[in-house]
Amino acid sequence: MKKTSPTLGKVHSRDGTPIAYEQRGEGPPLILVGGALCTGATDAPLAELLAPHFTVVTYDRRGRGASGAGGRYTVEREVEDLAAVIEESGTDVCVHGTSSGGGLALRAAAAGLPITQLSVYEPPYSPAARVDQKPAPYVALLDELLARGERGEALAVFLTEAGMPSETIANMRRAPLWSALEAVAHTLPHDHAVMGNGTVPTALLKGVGIPVMVVDGGASPPWMREAAALVSRALPRGRHRTLTGQTHEVAPHVLAPVLEDFFTT
């Protein structure tokens, strides 16, 4: 498939922070929202596959890539960032969010942003989390490391918590990818803020009236699949889809036709 040449642009969020985006393809607008450690470039392979059917917009979330950081971070400001990208994209906008980007997209839909349809892939809520549960100890350690400017150590802590073997992390440290991940590691607390204390936000989800497809991978950990099922059941117009053999690192060529089918029906 011939690669498309993206159109680059910037919009300004409500607080004036510039948000950088790339646009590909032709057709109804579809915005992709990345998760932790992701920039708009992370979603480029998926965007390329969807570009023959949609005008696909990828963007750098606040504090990442070519976007500004603004002042003190709040989830509400990130929702305003997405609102600005939606306004720039036109009408009848669809949105797909991956991992914590899915959590952000769900919050945006609950806040009333003009989203026609929404898809999310494995928003990392924890079925075992309690409403009164305090943040895990590693979150405080992450904050301490970032406050000291130790992004590499913070990144290693995050990846360890995510279940990555120490040998794999050691190999990653020697790879070119590591510096790119370090460059956005300071935004990891943003994703924790989006996901709250990890509980499935049932009350918030009940306020999302648009059609939402919640997707998980058949080879993902059971808790992640259970979370996806709980999210889909809490949504008034939710549906649940499992992609056989996929993990949290879903293959774009597997996900793309599922999104195409959902957003065109």
Tens of each residue's pLDDT in the chain, 265 residues: 567 689 999 999 999 999 999 999 999 999 999 999 999 999 999 999 999 999 999 999 999 999 999 999 999 999 999 999 999 999 999 999 999 999 999 999 999 999 999 999 999 999 988 877 777 788 999 999 999 999 999 999 999 999 999 999 999 999 999 999 999 999 999 999 999 999 999 999 999 999 999 999 999 999 999 999 999 999 999 999 999 999 999 999 999 999 999 999 8
The DSSP secondary-structure symbol of 210 reads: S
The confidence score (pLDDT) of residue 130 equals 81
| Nearest residue to 46 (alpha-carbon basis) of 265, 199, 259, 261 | 259
The predicted pLDDT at position 265 comes to 86
- pLDDT given for residue 90 in this prediction: 95
DSSP 215-230: EEETTS-HHHHHHHHH
In angstroms, what CA-CA distances link 96 with 58, 82, 109, 152, 215? 10, 12, 11, 29, 10
Nearest 5°: phi and psi at 157? -60, -45
> CB neighbours of 5 closer than 8 A, spacing ≥ 6?
24
Bridge partners of 29, per DSSP, are: 55
Tell me, what's the pLDDT at 220? 97
Amino acid 5: pLDDT: 82
Strands 55-59 and 93-98, sheet pairing: unpaired
Angle between helices 151-161 and 137-147 (to 10 degrees): 160
